[in-house]
Amino acid sequence: MKLHEYQGKEVLRQYGVNVQDGKVATTPEEVQAIYKEYGQPVVVKAQVHVGGRGKAGGVKFSSSEEKAVENAKNILGMDIKGLTVNKVLVTKAVDIDAGTEYYVGMIVDRNVQSYTLMASAEGGMEIEEVAAATPEKIIKHRVDPVTGLRPYEAREVAIKAGFKGNLNKIADMMVKMSKAAFERDAVLVEINPLFVDADGTPLALDTKFEIDDNAMYRHKDVAHYRELAAEHPLEIEASEYGFAYVKLDDGNVGVLGNGAGIVMTSLDVVNRAGAKPANFLDIGGGAKADVVYNAVKLVSKDPDVKSIFINIFGGITRADEVAKGVIKALEDGILTKPVRMRIAGTAEDEAKALLNEKNSDLIKMYPTMFEAAEEAAKDANAAGGK
Ligand code: GDP
Ligand code: MN
């Protein structure tokens, strides 16, 4: 479960992390009242579950009351990567000098079978670019799951990362962050930017905090943080159908298959074919035509999707049921994007016969998943998908 910035900050505060002051608002009037109370410049920040809010225009420095209200009006109701902003966090702005935005994070790392602590003196909005172009500027350290992060290790990492300021205080913040990660079963905790003031004291300006869904039963006290309204509408619909569905950023090919493994492979072959998957959708085993129909309906609703790649290996799932579901979606006018399918196995010939009879350019079957994925990629890229 992803927490909003303000929720993640609440958790970090419980662990003693020095967090920038801020209050949540849902209307420009509330933002105005908070500005009056603080009586100093503020930052108005969209509370949505996406990264890169700043780059998308969802984080605005507001030097006056009028600016704060204007920014609130613009940000509230704004669409960021398909999510509507219903809440903003209004923070007491600090003066950031160039080069004083640090990054620290804890991530569950399969390769080391524990958490990896990461730190970089080049934090801020470009951290992904830093990771891609100059990975040596990100210091990584495996945290022992038995002892947790010890202060001397945190100090060592802070020194290696080139942090300036009160290193004891900065290391202490890292230790507290890592304690929060362990105790809250986080899959990811980041503080970015971590700001260091003129006295050398660190302050958390932003956080990403994600708790392992499988551990939520141990964290009932934060279960109320989950807001259906803040989740992707398609993910909510998918959970109603009982599908395992994940919306992926910047994709153009809708992907569905029967089983987690085959869907993972399908994402890979779409990438290999030169397009990008827009979602993961597992319809499960033994799906009948109505389930396939709902899956196609769901994926078609995504405006990012320009073509659909269906990859089914028929065992208990019958290929003809899959074909029937897709054909019905076409007949009902739900299907407006090309569907490229590989359906092999049980009742494959029956499926072929049904599709031949329908004879529509929108639905085509291919002998291998590579060919189907390539056609889907061509269609999506030709349609001007991202
Ligand atoms: P993100 O883009 O979703 O990671 O949102 P952040 O909360 O990290 O804010 C984006 C950027 O806004 C930061 O990297 C800072 O450069 C800037 N920012 C955030 N808070 C403040 C603040 O209090 N003062 C100043 N000067 N800049 C801020
Ligand atoms: Mn940030």
Answer whether 50 contacts ligand 1 (Cβ < 6 A): no
Q: Which residues pair with 367 in a beta bridge?
A: none
What is the distance in A from the centroid of ligand 1 to the CA of 371?
45
Answer whether 54 contacts ligand 1 (Cβ < 6 A): yes
pLDDT digits (tens, 9 = 90+) for 164-185: 999 999 999 999 999 999 999 9
Closest Cα to residue 74, out of 4, 20, 35, 66? 66
Q: For ligand 1, atom 8, name the residue with the nearest CA.
A: 206
pLDDT digits (tens, 9 = 90+) for 48-87: 998 889 999 999 999 999 999 999 999 999 999 888 999 9
Pairing of strands 279-282, 22-25: unpaired
CA 168 to chain centre: 33
154: amino acid identity, one letter: A
Nearest-ligand number for the alpha carbon of 51: 1
What span, in angstroms and rounded, lies between the C-alpha atoms of 150 and 144?
9
- The residues carrying an active-site annotation are 103, 190
What is the distance in A from the centroid of ligand 2 to the CA of 127?
9
- Per-residue pLDDT in tens (0 to 9) along the chain, 386 residues: 999 999 999 999 999 999 999 999 999 999 999 999 999 999 999 999 988 899 999 999 999 999 999 999 999 999 998 889 999 999 999 999 766 899 999 999 999 999 999 999 999 989 999 999 999 999 999 999 999 999 999 999 999 999 999 999 999 999 999 999 999 999 999 999 999 999 999 999 999 999 998 899 999 999 889 887 777 889 889 988 989 899 998 899 999 999 999 999 999 999 999 999 999 999 988 889 999 999 999 999 999 999 999 999 988 899 999 999 999 999 999 999 999 999 999 999 999 999 999 999 999 999 999 999 999 999 999 987 44
Q: Out of 88, 205, 208, give the residue to mutate to test ligand 1, the one with the largest number of ligand atoms within 8 Å of its CB.
A: 205
pTM: 0.77
